[in-house]
Structure 1
Amino acid sequence: MRREMILPTLLVTFVLLSLSSARPPHIVLIVADDLGWNDVGWHNPQIYTPNLDKMAQNGVILNSSYVQPICTPTRNSLMTGFYPYHTGLQHFVILDDIPGYIPSNFTTLPQKLKQLGYSTHMVGKWHLGYCNWKYTPTYRGFDSFMGYYNGREGYYNHKEGTGYDFRLNEDVHYPTHGEYSAHTFAKRAIDILNSVDPQKESLFLYLPFQSVHEPLEVPEKYENIYSHIQNKERRTYCGMVSAMDEAVGNITTVLRERGFMDNLLLVFTSDNGGNFQYGANNLPLRGNKNTLWEGGTKGAAFVYSETLLKKTNYENTEMMHAVDLFPTLLHVAGGIPDPGIDGMNMWPTISENKSSPRTEFIYNIDEIDKNAAIRVGDYKLIEGSPGQSNDWYPLPTREVDVQQEDSGDSFSADTEYQLFDIKNDPTEHFDISEKYPDVVDRLKKRLEEYKKSLVPAHVPPPDPKANPKYYNGTWSPGWC
């Protein structure tokens, strides 16, 4: 070989060896519970979330990222890549004594990542079924789990109703007495980070925080940040948001100190809109948690990476849905989703600001509540009642404001279909169904096509065998 060819050949060999030895990136997925659209600093500068704001502003803010109207269905979408109406989880949430779950034939995101060699860990709220051990996190792909199975509990005592609900893997766990859950979760996440070698392992860390779901509880120092807010519920709620932000900041500090940031993708999203009856706010969007309005289904979200994003510091307005995170994260990890999932790979859209491959999505189809909603292009069609919170709810102003009555104003139960142009009317003030009957007909036909693949909602009756009295006072698997 001539001398002038040796150096280029060696360089090519070195590059190929480097590429072959490069590890898939670490992935951190953070989910905030019941976080309002107007309750993050990048939407509302009166909210103190400096750690989240810094990542959002230096990453990619997702301004058209949709989630399901309520907790369980969104978590289903994230973990499976399927719409809830394809898994039977489209109606409401899994309550404490209901034997609901993601069916075992659905492969979860951590299971797929484990096949790629990832270390998978979960810290926080599950809410995807626990009546049998096989439906719990460590049997659905996670190497470890610290958190709770149900949908809500006290932030300090970890109790829901008559039972205690907190686990470390399969064991009942009792964190430090009097410790706030956001702090407990941050400490556990940091312990996991300290146990992983970022140069030799690829980490998937799923962090579905308890924050900021009711009950309204927070250490006083966080509430004091908002001493100017007269309303007690709003003041406490905002303190809860800032406590979560600090927890995220503590985690990202360790991510940086230990070298994870050199090869990491971090995704943050809410699971649904905020609940105005417990201090949250979705302005300027219409509606509330558990409604098909934008205020219930448009998630505050961003993506952050210091090395993987080709374009940063911008607001992405391309259409995407929670089901899309499954194939997107799998793509980043070097994997391929199973055929037939509802999600689409959004990595070129997010990382390069390319056009979204998604031109339509389903908000939900609920045959029990007899309602549904579909988005096609700029148009949104709502069939039946969007829910029971149908207005634009202002920030509370009175010093003591009992949980506001839900009047259900601005919607007639006789209305069968409503049509909105979301691009030009993102706050859903103008129903244009009578003006554009042809568009209504077109979207109705498209919705009917989706309904053909609906799996009946799995909503079994409460089971008295779930009673914590049979399990030493804890909510425990083993009753279905």
Structure 2
Amino acid sequence: GWNDVGYHNLAMKTPNIDKLAREGLILNQTYFQPLCSPSRHAFMTGYYPYRAGLQHLVIMPWQPVCSPQKMKFLPQRLQDLGYATHMVGKWHLGMCNWDCTPTYRGFDSFFGFYHAKADYYSHISYKYLDYRDNEKPVKNLNGTYSTFTFTSRAQDIIKKHNSSQPLFLYMAFPIPHEPLQVPQQYEDLYPNTMSKGRRQYSGMVSALDEAIGNITDQLRESGMYDDTLIVFTSDNGGSPMDHGNNYPLRGAKFTVYEGGTRVVSFVHGAGLQKTGEAYESMMHAVDWSDTLVAAAGGEPDMRDDGVSQWTAIAQNSPGPRTELVYNFDPDSAPEQGHAAIRVGDYKLIHGYPGLFPDWYKVDQQYEFNTEPSVLEMLEHTERYQLFNIKDDPTEQNDLAQSKPDIVKKLSQRLQMLTKNALPPNYPLVPDPKSDPTHFDNVWSPGWC
């Protein structure tokens, strides 16, 4: 969450993250989707999720769904430029078919898991094992905290890498996603935090910070640090139910308010000409593919929704993006935001904004209603909210009634941009072929 790093919140112990952020360029207006599968799709392909039918909630293990194979992934583009490509951590872009999985979508190697979450020690996800070393299930690490294993694998990749070849390492740490699990020494860093859940969550963030420190130390030892561009970003806002925090931003994961979509992010290292500053231009997850390809010397994909921001970021000059779509989901679930767009300083929200619509302070107790009433949903069906994000970044003042002309303009723009949106690809009935008992009790591809 926005309030879960030390450079936004002094109570958080994240010295490695803070140092990299302050030595680099902090990206203050970078946006992702309200949930993780859509965000990862946008990051990897450069296409909004509504262009792929992935705008509705997240991919579940039993759904025959994956990010469309016709859309070229970032590591495939970097392989075309001569890069070695490796991935460690959480995938969550579909796995029913081998062609949907990391080593078939541009990664030379993969160590991690396929689904939304897994136990950090047993590596069980939805009652069955979800842990892979390339294509092979990993069954000998039960009891080992996955963050430690992921860090060791990253260090090993860097140690063994031939530095005459460029390297892309995608570290998709699941931490601090629930379940809240962390070795005691990290939780103990927060003795003054009242709730155990927030202590655990904060400890997980500090464990992540230590991992980042260990990986950057390995880059130094291997003589690669000065030539490396580091990108740090969350994939959505924190969840207050799981003790993540986005204050003072409004909302959280699941919502199209800023707290669900405006993420902590920075860049550090090679190619940056101005550092120790903040980049205030709008950026969206769909921009990262073209931006990193440009940083690597490649050409943008003119067909996708992204724009390369590399020149602007490198020089900290005004960026090229003037608008973005937060989400567009015609079948919006009760818990998820329906639709929102930003054009310039103005942001329009249409319909239900999502589960957590308020401002949540750290270490306060809240009652969360995860099943909004039908009446509440109906009240929002045709409701518009309008905010000036430059003047009102915490979305306190709804301008919809006082500026109907801007509401109309942004509504028409949203309709135009989403007129060819695909319907959500979200089968409600689990596919029996997905049953892990068919695959030695391991979540496995090969059934769709």
TM score, norm. by length of structure 2:
0.95
Query: Kindly, what percent of the aligned residue pairs are identical?
Result: 50
Quote how far apart the aligned CAs of 1:380 are.
0.3
1:313 equivalent to 2:276? Answer yes
Q: CA RMSD in A?
A: 1.6
Q: Which AA in structure 2 matches 1:319? A: M
Quote how far apart the aligned CAs of 1:402 are.
8.9
- CA distance in 2 between counterparts of 1:377 and 1:167 reads 43
Superposed CA offset, 1:45-81 (max 9, x none): 1100001110000000011000000000000011101
1:438 to 405, 429, 435: 405
**Conserved? CA contact 1:389–1:407, under 8 Å:** no
Q: Helix, strand or coil for the counterpart of 2:379?
A: coil
1:345 equivalent to 2:308? Answer yes
Q: Which AA in structure 2 matches 1:440? A: V
Q: Which AA in structure 2 matches 1:253? A: D
Matching residue of 1:374: 341
1:364 equivalent to 2:327? Answer yes
Matching residue of 2:89: 124
Max Rg structure: 1
Superposed CA offset, 1:227-269 (max 9, x none): 1112010000000000011011100000011111121111000
Matching residue of 2:239: 275
- CA distance in 1 between counterparts of 2:207 and 2:368 reads 24
- CA distance in 2 between counterparts of 1:208 and 1:303 reads 16
**Conserved? CA contact 2:193–2:363, under 8 Å:** no
- CA distance in 1 between counterparts of 2:114 and 2:191 reads 34
1:222 equivalent to 2:186? Answer yes
- CA distance in 2 between counterparts of 1:293 and 1:440 reads 16
Q: Which AA in structure 1 matches 2:387? A: F
2:361 to 394, 397, 400: 394
- CA distance in 2 between counterparts of 1:381 and 1:68 reads 16
**Conserved? CA contact 1:278–1:403, under 8 Å:** no
Quote how far apart the aligned CAs of 1:136 are.
0.3
Q: Structure 2: which 5+ residue stretches go unaligned?
A: none
- Distance verdict in 2 for CA 1:142–1:321, change over 3 Å: same
Q: Which AA in structure 2 matches 1:465? A: K
Matching residue of 1:16: none
Q: Which AA in structure 1 matches 2:262? A: K
Superposed CA offset, 1:264-317 (max 9, x none): 111000000000001111100011101101000001000000x41100001111
Q: Structure 1: which 5+ residue stretches go unaligned?
A: 1-35
Matches within 5 A, 1:385-464: 385-397=352-364, 404-405=368-369, 413-415=378-380, 416-460=383-427, 461-464=429-432
- CA distance in 2 between counterparts of 1:414 and 1:177 reads 48
Q: Which AA in structure 2 matches 1:295? A: G
- CA distance in 2 between counterparts of 1:230 and 1:389 reads 22
**Conserved? CA contact 2:86–2:169, under 8 Å:** yes
Quote how far apart the aligned CAs of 1:360 are.
0.3
TM score, norm. by length of structure 1:
0.89
Matching residue of 1:238: 202
Q: Which AA in structure 2 matches 1:351? A: A
Matching residue of 1:469: 437
Matches within 5 A, 1:21-36: 36=1
Matching residue of 2:176: 212
Quote how far apart the aligned CAs of 1:178 are.
2.1
Quote how far apart the aligned CAs of 1:160 are.
1.2
Q: Which AA in structure 2 matches 1:78? A: F
Matching residue of 1:21: none
Q: Helix, strand or coil for the counterpart of 1:414?
A: helix
